[in-house]
Amino acid sequence: MQFEEFSREQLPGLVRFAAVLTGDRDLAQDIVQDALVRAHLRWSRVSAADRPDLYLRKMVVNGYLSWRRRWYQRSVRPIADTSWVAEPATADPATRIADHDQLAGLLSGLSRAQQAAIVLRFYEDRDDNEIAAVLGCAVGTVRSHISRGLSALRIRLRNELEVA
């Protein structure tokens, strides 16, 4: 398969995956673009892999984990009260936005490796072996990341419910 065809097939899923992982669609597009540029330069190695799609996801996760982004992206933190920002009048996507914000907020409390493992498992529906291949770690480490991440999410949700 040629790189252009492969990247065209993989692009929508990669951007969705990276957007869930980062909580920021623009950053997700940057990370995916960087990964695709690197994959194009190494296409013979990527295409020779057993699962080029997982190889590319590993490149996206590595870009996310290393976070070699511009300095301001490391220091910008979401704020709880955004009511002072004027939103243009559009159709009401409130449910989708609320779900996205809640998911991004919950995931932000986890380590990046835990975030990546949980997104790969529950959003991408990947098994432990595939996640281990993407994260470059042992299967036991994947299970640990998911277990600890889910435990932290349960505690956080329980605390949010008690406050509400």
CB 107 within 8 A of CB 23: yes
pLDDT on residue 23: 85
- Collect the ranges in the chain with pLDDT lower than 50: 69-72
Tokens of 35: 């990964």
Q: First and final CA of the chain: distance in angstroms?
A: 53
- The residue among 77, 104, 134 that closes a domain is 77
Angle at 64 between CA 41 and CA 73, to 5 degrees: 110
Give me the CATH number covering residue 67: 1.10.1740
pLDDT on residue 156: 86
CA distance linking residue 13 with residue 22, whole number of Å: 14
Residue 17 to residues 66, 87, 140, Cα–Cα distance (Å): 17, 26, 23
Residues 117 and 151 in one domain: yes
- The residue among 19, 45, 77 that closes a domain is 77
The DSSP line for 111-125 is -HHHHHHHIIIIIS-
* pTM listed for this prediction: 0.59
pLDDT on residue 71: 44
CB 123 within 8 A of CB 17: yes
pLDDT on residue 104: 81
Q: Hey, what long-range contacts does 133-139 have (CB within 8 A, 24 or more apart)?
A: 133/51, 133/54, 133/58, 134/54, 134/57, 134/58, 134/61, 135/58, 135/61, 136/58, 136/62, 137/113
CA distance linking residue 86 with residue 79, whole number of Å: 15
Q: Give residue 32's domain range.
A: 1-77
Whether 32 is in a domain gets the answer yes
Domain count, the chain: 2
